[in-house]
Amino acid sequence: MSKDGSAMIFPMLLEEAAKWARKNSLWPMPFGTSCCGIEMMSTLSSHYDLSRFGAEVVRFSPRQCDMLLVAGTITTKMAPVLRTIYDQMLEPKWVLAIGACSSSGGIFDTYSVLQGIDEIMPVDVYVPGCPPIPEGFLYAVLHLQKIIEGKIPRALSNKPTHEDAVNAMTYKNCVSRTRDQVIKAGLTITPEYVSTEKSKQEGR
């Protein structure tokens, strides 16, 4: 509506309008597990104020959100939880891997840490830093807005499906890859254990 009351028509494709609306009203689902989660809090709070870019309505319900912020180390114990949350989110959805740990495992190349969340879900924007400064975080959100607009093509090269994710997380995959190493290390993984574990996986 213009000031005199007459209606104005914007010649715009519905798709474009939807993109514009989406990009300016991102609803984040924060998944802050560690240090990066604290920086995420700083970004959301008064000083840096993420709400300037329309992404401040933090909701912990994945079904209402379209931007998953994975901030912090994801351990192998946490990976199934994260994937469940990703699966619960409705399309269209975008994922930000914030910090070195969620992008690649970071400095924690250990027995309990997932080496990057892209093993179990597609990632749109990786934010480097340990933890990234809030400005980096804001830059990532702005970058994501450009992706939503279509100005930057969305990376689709690595898009693990649910099955891929389960394979990446399961014992089955792990056993086939590293069983020899386990036995070499003299640990107590018996063939019986492996076969029962395998049959459990196939039964499921």
Which residues of the shown chain bind another protein in the complex (CB under 8 A)?
A: 31-35, 37-39, 42, 45-47, 60, 72-73, 75-82, 84-85, 107-114, 130-131, 133, 166, 168-171, 173-174, 178, 181-182, 185-189, 193, 197, 201, 204
Strand-pairing partners, residue 95, are 68
Residue 127, amino acid: V
* Residue whose CB is less far from another protein, 3 or 47: 47
* Residue whose CB is less far from another protein, 6 or 46: 46
Nearest CA to 89 out of 125, 63, 122 is that of: 63
1: Cβ–Cβ under 8 A, 6 or more apart, which residues?
A: 7, 8
Question: Minimum Å distance from CB 76 to another protein?
Answer: 4
* Residue whose CB is less far from another protein, 67 or 168: 168
* Residue whose CB is less far from another protein, 112 or 158: 112
Q: Which two tokens stand for residue 39?
A: 């920086």
Question: Minimum Å distance from CB 103 to another protein?
Answer: 15
* Residue whose CB is less far from another protein, 10 or 111: 111
* Residue whose CB is less far from another protein, 45 or 161: 45
Distance CA 21, CA 125 (A): 20
Distance CA 9, CA 156 (A): 35
Question: Minimum Å distance from CB 31 to another protein?
Answer: 6
Question: Minimum Å distance from CB 24 to another protein?
Answer: 23
State the CB neighbour count (10 A cutoff) for residue 45: 12
Distance CA 96, CA 106 (A): 16
Question: Minimum Å distance from CB 83 to another protein?
Answer: 9
Give yes or no for a cis peptide into 131 (omega within 30° of 0): yes
Question: Minimum Å distance from CB 35 to another protein?
Answer: 4
Lay out the sheet containing 125-127: strands in order across: 28-32, 67-71, 94-98, 125-127
